[in-house]
Amino acid sequence: MTTITLRNLRKEFDDVVAVNGLDLTVRDGEFLVVVGPSGCGKSTTLRLLAGLETATDGEIRMDDRDVTHTEPKDRNVAMVFQNYALYPHMTGRRNITFGMNATDSFADEEIDRRVAEAAETLDITDLLDRKPQAMSGGERQRVALGRAIVRDPDAFLMDEPLSNLDAKLRIQMRAELTRLHAELGTTTVYVTHDQTEAMTLGERVVVMDDGRIQQVDPPQALYDFPTNRFVAEFIGDPAMNMIDVAVEDGVAVHDGFRIPLPSGKTVDGTDGEWLDGTEAEALADPDAGDRPTAVLGIRPEDLYPARDRPDLGETTFDATVEVTEPLGDSLLVHCSVGDATFKMGAEPRSSLEPGGTVSVTYDPARLHLFAPETGEAFYHSATAPAPAGRIDATTND
């Protein structure tokens, strides 16, 4: 049971800044997922936590201990790697016990008991006498997890542990990781580039880009209230549509449409205050001149062919269908309106043909505005606060 605190953590490799001033608290018993594109510094952050890299600057604390310069072995953390990192010449059992045997801090009976317990938990009892090459990817990762949990560490550090598994197994292991965490309650930091994994696993998710934290929130809050364009486009698949607009009199104006902005929520410093569309206009770039004053963000799944959702109101606009992509459970429609293009989710068997015209409507509670220059979000039309995370304690500081 451990709280991990990072203060102004920084890591440079020669002239590359991998991690640029991270401030983050991983709460006791929390499952925290760090997500971001390749090279965003997420793995480096995890390696700093493990002690495999030395911080250039800043501080890492585990509870009251400053571990910034502590050797990996003295941090009492366990790491699970993408490629499993099982010793190939050892059986499953030896792999699990090797680290414990090496430190002499466990009695043999204690080790046996813990291995049996972990094997039971992970259902790997029949793998204990096999070598890794006789195991499947999923089995190897289970053994690797077993090795991590037998030591009863203060924290689990997981570096893309599911990336090498096939899609079906990944989904299965995802559920198992959630179950395992519920059972053990050990503080876990989990790094992935897969936003679906981040959303499904994390009690809170840290989105990183370019060595910096972009946002830390429970998954639904990330999705509903992204703090900037990067988060908005990174979380959610397909990515959020971004269309340059002007904001005039509480209306997002584009050549092809006018979308009124209902009263919503600002994230710009005045957290928790609500503003209407007109006030949003004031927050838009006042010096924009002829340039668009804002970027309107709408997720493809919040756009509909008007005939499918008559309940959403009168405001519709016409767009041209460019391409359709059947996804089975839905039809992804690439559309253009004026100089803008966007994607829209439609009913799977909709009769939308490329070249045709479609009347488009949208969910007015799912609009976002971003500043064109900085990409910061300054307006969300959602009228309800983000639902609390899976565990209340993690969202109420």
51 binds another protein (CB under 8 A): yes
Smallest distance from another protein to CB 211, Å: 21
Q: In what order do the strands lie in the sheet with 368-370?
A: 257-260, 251-254, 241-248, 294-298, 368-370, 377-380, 264-265, 274-275
Residues binding another protein: what is the number (CB under 8 A)?
28
Smallest distance from another protein to CB 389, Å: 29
What is the C-alpha separation between 283 and 79, in angstroms, rounded? 45
Smallest distance from another protein to CB 85, Å: 4
Tokens matching residue 261:
């902005």
Which residue in the set 14, 38, 64, 133 belongs to the binding site for another protein (CB under 8 A)?
133
13 binds another protein (CB under 8 A): no
98 binds another protein (CB under 8 A): yes
81 binds another protein (CB under 8 A): yes
85 binds another protein (CB under 8 A): yes
- The secondary element (H helix, E strand) that includes residue 265 is strand 264-265
Stretch of residues binding another protein (CB under 8 A), selected from 95-103, 217-225, 247-255, 258-266? 95-103
Q: How many residues does the chain have?
A: 397
Cα–Cα distance list, 163 to 36, 124, 190, 200 (Å): 14, 20, 12, 15
Smallest distance from another protein to CB 81, Å: 4
260 binds another protein (CB under 8 A): no
What is the C-alpha separation between 26 and 329, in angstroms, rounded? 37
What is the C-alpha separation between 164 and 161, in angstroms, rounded? 7
Cα–Cα distance list, 83 to 87, 122, 123, 161 (Å): 11, 18, 20, 7
Smallest distance from another protein to CB 145, Å: 13
In single-letter form, the type of residue at position 102 comes to: A
Which residue in the set 87, 183, 325, 326 belongs to the binding site for another protein (CB under 8 A)?
87
**Closer CB to another protein, residue 99 or residue 256?**
99
Which residue in the set 100, 222, 235, 280 belongs to the binding site for another protein (CB under 8 A)?
100
Query: Crossing angle, helix 137-150 and helix 108-122, to 10 degrees?
Result: 140
317 binds another protein (CB under 8 A): no
What is the C-alpha separation between 92 and 282, in angstroms, rounded? 63
Positions in the binding site for another protein (CB under 8 A): 50-52, 71-75, 77-79, 81-85, 87-89, 98-100, 102-103, 132-133, 147, 151
